[in-house]
Structures are given as structure tokens and as C-alpha cells.
């Protein structure tokens, strides 16, 4: 893989992936990062790598829905592999404004696949980054395996499910070499503070209410972002073409316990004046419509076939994450000056329940 096209590289996971690939992995080629720069894309997440690897890192602002722009990227950079992260990624946004999710996640993925299949002189590897949300919700028992039937609940997860099916169809119909990964909830540095963990860290630091949806008993399976990046790279290198690999942290937590843990960590690292407990900031608000109860990934296939194991436990990963947000207040300030705060507040944090 000499010229690797990474889509959505200015977002949370894409930026961590590019940083990992250039600074810590055995990848020796060049990365072309194509990103539209939506509210979630922040080129500042990659300033250091752009300075440190000027020969090996190229940024192109391109919308995947603009076929001409993406086709130019292919022509100019002699792409020979793709790692496709770009997506609209936030479930709450998809409930209020699904339009962009259908366009980017379905049509954008289709455009990329078309360019990959029409490549005349070489066969491209296409890695599709997807989510465990395509499987829908679990009850109290059981795990998602690669054979769990798709049953997405939100416009976000339905759009990701559609894109997964199209990627597989391009493998079966046209023989395009593809790999897919379906991962559980990520957390770590550079995550946009609309998602649960960074939102709670930053609100708690400012002494603001911590909005927990419903009764806080929904379960997510948490994975530190660098472990996800290592898994994706492992699958790209060693995964069987046409195959799907589930990625998860084997780390199920109730939302309320995640929030309590963040409160306690912050009380330890940065106590509030007067020693007031941050748990008092927890506020139960109206539930997300169609809120999936529980996600839990069985990643035996990835562990057994490719020998991947996560390096971080939730305890070590969440401490690193909290410390990162405390140490990067300038980044936080710049990100928070965007439009998202008023948007999320308008739509989601008004209906206080208890
Ligand atoms: P993110 O929202 O932080 O970043 C998405 C990036 O894609 C941004 O840089 C944005 O500018 C870019 N983008 C959006 N629309 C685009 C378009 N039309 N053309 C080009 N670029 C566009 O998302 P994330 O959390 O980093 O997620 C990355 C991928 O991983 C997504 O495909 C998501 O479905 C998947 N995923 C995320 C998680 C998670 O917990 N965050 C878990 C599993 C899978
Ligand atoms: O499972 C993988 C998915 O994880 C990814 O595909 C998505 O891109 C990613 O956004 C994430 O989806 P979730 O909806 O699980 O993540 P979010 O951080 O939005 O919410 C996590 C849980 O916390 C969920 O049960 C809803 C709840 N929540 C969320 C927010 C933002 C709250 O209780 N309060 C909040 O303010």
C-alpha cells in the first residue's frame, strides 16, 4: 500500500488512525486524507503530523458526494488502497436531520466504490469502517457476532447498514477486494464533544448539568480509539478479502456508571471548590427516540484469526482521556466555539425528567 486514501481523516477516529499509521505503525507509504470538513472535521487534529511528515501526508478537502472532486483525488494521487471512515456519525443528529446521513453514508460510499471498481490498472483494497449499531439492540443477554442479522434502529445506523450491504455487493458482484469492520463505541483524544464521554467530561469540568438519557441503564461496549485503529490496520493487512470482522472492547458499561466514573475521576484530579461532588450534576433528561438498550460485541473472530487484543482497559483508557481533555483546553475552546452546542441544547437537553 503505497498511496493510502483515508476518508474522513479530520474526524475523531480518522485523525487517530492517521496519527497511529504515520507515527507508530509499520506503514511506510503516503496518506491522502480526503475530508469535506463538516462541523466534525477539524484539520487541527493533524497539525503535528502534517508538519512532521510533509512528504507522507497530503490533505485534500473533498466531499464524497461530489464525484468529480473524488475522481480528481484518484487521478492525482495514484491511490492503491482506501480506508473509508468518512460519515455523518452522530445518532441524535440523524434523528433530527437524516438528510446528510443518507447522502454521505450511502451515496458517498457508493461513489467511492464506483471509482475503486473502475480503476483500470490496479486492484484497490477497500476497507469499510462500520458500526455495531447495524445489528440493532440486544436484550439483557447475548452478543453481536458477524452473523447477527441486521436490524438498525436510527437513520444513522440504517444508513451505515445500507453502506455495508453495498460494499459486500461490490465484492460478490465485481470481485472488488474489500474488508469490513463493525466496531463498538469508541472514546479517547479528539472526540467531538457531542458524544457521551467528551460531553460529560467538559460539562463536569465547567460545573454544568450532565444530561443522561432515560434512566441511564442503556449499555454500551467501550473501546479506546487507538485499539480500534490498530484493529483496522491489522484487518487491512491480514484480513481475508470479502470478510467482516467485529471489533469490541469486551467492556460493557451502563451509561450512568460511565458518567459516575468520569465524575469521580475529575473529583480526584481536579476537585471542585468546596469539594462538591460532581455526581450532583447528573440530570436525567427525556430519552432518545428508538434508543437501543444494549450493545455487546463478540470479537472472537478478530482475536483468533488475526491475534488482535485491546491494550487498554476502561480504567486506563478513561483516565488517559480525562487527562487529555484537561491538558487540551485550547483545542476544546476552539472546537466549542462551533455551532454544535446551541444545536444539541435546542434539540436534546431541554426535557428534564427528574
Ligand atoms: P466523526 O463524526 O468524528 O468524523 C467524521 C469525519 O468525516 C469528519 O472529519 C467529517 O468532516 C468527514 N465527513 C463527513 N461527511 C463527509 C463527506 N460527505 N465527504 C468527506 N468527508 C466527510 O466520526 P468518527 O466518530 O470519527 O467515526 C468515523 C467512522 O467510524 C464512521 O464511519 C463511523 O460510522 C464509524 N464508527 C464510529 C464509532 C464511534 O464510536 N465514534 C464506532 C464505530 C464505528
Ligand atoms: O456503537 C458504535 C456507535 O457509537 C457509533 O457507530 C456512533 O458513530 C457513535 O456516535 C456511538 O453511538 P452512540 O449513540 O452509542 O454514542 P453516544 O455517545 O451518542 O451515546 C452513548 C450512550 O449515551 C447512548 O446510550 C446515549 C447516551 N447519551 C448520549 C448523550 C450524547 C446520554 O445519555 N446523554 C447524552 O448527552
List the single range of 137-151, 175-189, 257-271, 339-353 with lowest mean pLDDT.
Answer: 339-353
Whole-Å CA distances, 52 to 22, 25, 71, 174, 313: 9, 15, 28, 39, 30
Alpha-carbon gap, residue 115 to 104, rounded angstroms:
15
Instruction: With CA atoms as reference, report the closest residue to 289 among 335, 240, 351.
Output: 351
Q: How many domains does the chain have?
A: 1
Give the domain range for residue 112: 3-186+223-249+295-311+339-347
**Cell of residue 212, nine digits:** 443522561
Residue 229 beta carbon below 6 angstroms from any ligand 1 atom: no
Say how many residues make up the chain.
354
Q: Looking at the domain assignment, is residue 146 inside a domain?
A: yes
**Cell of residue 209, nine digits:** 448539568
Whether the CB-CB separation of 255 and 323 falls below 8 Å is answered with no
pLDDT of residue 33 exceeding 70: yes
Residue 214 burial (C-beta neighbours within 10 Å; 0-12, 13-18, 19+):
middle
pLDDT for 117-136, tens place per residue?
998 767 789 999 999 999 99
Beta bridge partners of 244: 180
pLDDT for 196-231, tens place per residue?
999 999 999 999 999 999 999 999 999 999 999 999
pLDDT for 57-94, tens place per residue?
999 999 999 999 999 999 999 999 999 999 999 999 99
Please compute the mean of the pLDDT values over residues 171-188 and round it to a whole number. 97
Q: Is 156 considered catalytic here?
A: yes
Q: Residue 290: phi, psi to the nearest 5?
A: 65, 25
Please compute the mean of the pLDDT values over residues 271-279 and round it to a whole number. 94
Q: Looking at the domain assignment, is residue 317 inside a domain?
A: no
Q: Looking at the domain assignment, is residue 192 inside a domain?
A: no
- Output the CA 76–ligand 2 centroid distance in Å: 37
Query: Which pLDDT score, from 0 to 100, does residue 337 have?
Result: 83
Whole-Å CA distances, 300 to 1, 68, 137, 296: 27, 41, 20, 12
352 band by pLDDT with thresholds 50, 70 and 90: very low
Query: Which pLDDT score, from 0 to 100, does residue 123 have?
Result: 79
Mutation test residue for ligand 1: of 9, 59, 87, 99, the one with most atoms within 8 Å of CB: 87
Is this model's pTM higher than 0.85 or not?
A: yes
Q: Is 132 considered catalytic here?
A: yes
Active-site annotation holder among 63, 88, 92, 133: 133
Active-site annotation holder among 20, 135, 156, 348: 156
Identify which ligand lies nearest to the alpha carbon of 87. 1
pLDDT of residue 343 exceeding 90: no
Neighbours of 201 (CB within 10 A): 26
**Cell of residue 274, nine digits:** 468546596
In eight-state DSSP terms, residue 349 is S
Residue 190 beta carbon below 6 angstroms from any ligand 1 atom: no
Q: CA angle 222-227-229, nearest 5°?
A: 115
pLDDT of residue 250 exceeding 70: yes
Query: Which pLDDT score, from 0 to 100, does residue 347 have?
Result: 54
Q: Looking at the domain assignment, is residue 216 inside a domain?
A: no
Query: Which pLDDT score, from 0 to 100, does residue 339 have?
Result: 47
Q: Looking at the domain assignment, is residue 285 inside a domain?
A: no
Q: With b meaning 16 or more CB within 10 Å and e meaning fewer, what string describes 121-155?
A: eeebbbbbbbbbbbbbbbeeeebbebebebebbbb
Q: Looking at the domain assignment, is residue 201 inside a domain?
A: no
CA dihedral 110, 128, 325, 327 (to 10 degrees): -110
Alpha-carbon gap, residue 213 to 200, rounded angstroms:
12
Alpha-carbon gap, residue 49 to 27, rounded angstroms:
14
Q: Looking at the domain assignment, is residue 180 inside a domain?
A: yes
User: Crossing angle of helices 329-336/314-327, nearest 10°?
Assistant: 80
Here the CATH number for the domain that contains residue 170 is: 3.40.50.720
Indicate the average pLDDT of the chain.
94
**Cell of residue 164, nine digits:** 455495508
Q: Looking at the domain assignment, is residue 278 inside a domain?
A: no
In eight-state DSSP terms, residue 44 is G
pLDDT for 315-334, tens place per residue?
999 999 999 999 999 999 98
341 band by pLDDT with thresholds 50, 70 and 90: very low
For ligand 2, atom 4, the nearest C-alpha belongs to 185
Amino acid at each position: 500500500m503505497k498511496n493510502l486514501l483515508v476518508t474522513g481523516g479530520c474526524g475523531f477516529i480518522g485523525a487517530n488512525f492517521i496519527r497511529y499509521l504515520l507515527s507508530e505503525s509499520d506503514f511506510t507509504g503516503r496518506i491522502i486524507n480526503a475530508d469535506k470538513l463538516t462541523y466534525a472535521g477539524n484539520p487541527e487534529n493533524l497539525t503535528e503530523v502534517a508538519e512532521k511528515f510533509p512528504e507522507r501526508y497530503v490533505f485534500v478537502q473533498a466531499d464524497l458526494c461530489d464525484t468529480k472532486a473524488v475522481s480528481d483525488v484518484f487521478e492525482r494521487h495514484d491511490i492503491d488502497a482506501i480506508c473509508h471512515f468518512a460519515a455523518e456519525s452522530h445518532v441524535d443528529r440523524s434523528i433530527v436531520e437524516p438528510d446528510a446521513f443518507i447522502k454521505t453514508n450511502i451515496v458517498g460510499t457508493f461513489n467511492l466504490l464506483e471509482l475503486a471498481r473502475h480503476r483500470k490498472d490496479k486492484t484497490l483494497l477497500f476497507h469499510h469502517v462500520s458500526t455495531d449499531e447495524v445489528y440493532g439492540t440486544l436484550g439483557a443477554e447475548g452478543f453481536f457476532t458477524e452473523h447477527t442479522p441486521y436490524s438498525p434502529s436510527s437513520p444513522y445506523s440504517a444508513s451505515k447498514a445500507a453502506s455495508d450491504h453495498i460494499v459486500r455487493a461490490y465484492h460478490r458482484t465485481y470481485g472488488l477486494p474489500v474488508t469490513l469492520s463493525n466496531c463498538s463505541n469508541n472514546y479517547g483524544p479528539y472526540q467531538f464533544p457531542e458524544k457521551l464521554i467528551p460531553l460529560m467530561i467538559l460539562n463536569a469540568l465547567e460545573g454544568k448539568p450532565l444530561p443522561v438519557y432515560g434512566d441511564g441503564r442503556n449499555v454500551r461496549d467501550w473501546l479506546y480509539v487507538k485499539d480500534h485503529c490498530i484493529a483496522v490496520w491489522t484487518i487491512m493487512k491480514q484480513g481475508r478479502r470479502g470478510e467482516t470482522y467485529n471489533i469490541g472492547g469486551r467492556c460493557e458499561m451502563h451509561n450512568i456508571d460511565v458518567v459516575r466514573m468520569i465524575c469521580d475521576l475529575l473529583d480526584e484530579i481536579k476537585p471542585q471548590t468546596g469539594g462538591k461532588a460532581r455526581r450532583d450534576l447528573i440530570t436525567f433528561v427525556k430519552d432518545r427516540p428508538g434508543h437501543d438498550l444494549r450493545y455487546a460485541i463478540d470479537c472472537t473472530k478478530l482475536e483468533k484469526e488475526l491475534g488482535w487484543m485491546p491494550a487498554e482497559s476502561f480504567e486506563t483508557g478513561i483516565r488517559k482521556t480525562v487527562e487529555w481533555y484537561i491538558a487540551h483546553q485550547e483545542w476544546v475552546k476552539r472546537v466549542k466555539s462551533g455551532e454544535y452546542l446551541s444545536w444539541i441544547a435546542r434539540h436534546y437537553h431541554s426535557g428534564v425528567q427528574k
